[in-house]
Amino acid sequence: MEMLQNQINEMVRLLPEAELKLVIEVVRRFLPDYVATPDDLKHIAMARQELANGETTSFNDVDWD
């Protein structure tokens, strides 16, 4: 498994930067929905901190119109 991961990593390093967006979208299609990315984890931590600080908006305070 590690050998395959190393091969994939090396191949990705050789790609032009313009192609990386496509590659990441393809890889995401293979991940189950419950896998959080580092970016997801960052935003979850930020949301938890905002909640702990009381920096939230009540559902009733939202103008839905």
Task: Note the pLDDT of residue 36.
Answer: 87
Q: Are 15 and 23 contacting, i.e. CB atoms less than 8 angstroms apart?
A: yes
Q: Are 50 and 56 contacting, i.e. CB atoms less than 8 angstroms apart?
A: yes
Task: Note the pLDDT of residue 37.
Answer: 85
- Write down the domain spans for the chain: 2-56
SS3 call for 15: coil
Q: pLDDT tens for residues 2-42?
A: 999 999 999 999 999 999 999 999 988 888 878 888 899 99
Taking the C-alpha atoms of residue 27 and residue 15, their distance in angstroms, rounded to an integer, is 15
Amino acid 21 reads K
pTM for the predicted model, two decimal places: 0.45
Which positions ≥6 away from 12 have C-beta within 8 Å?
Answer: 20, 23
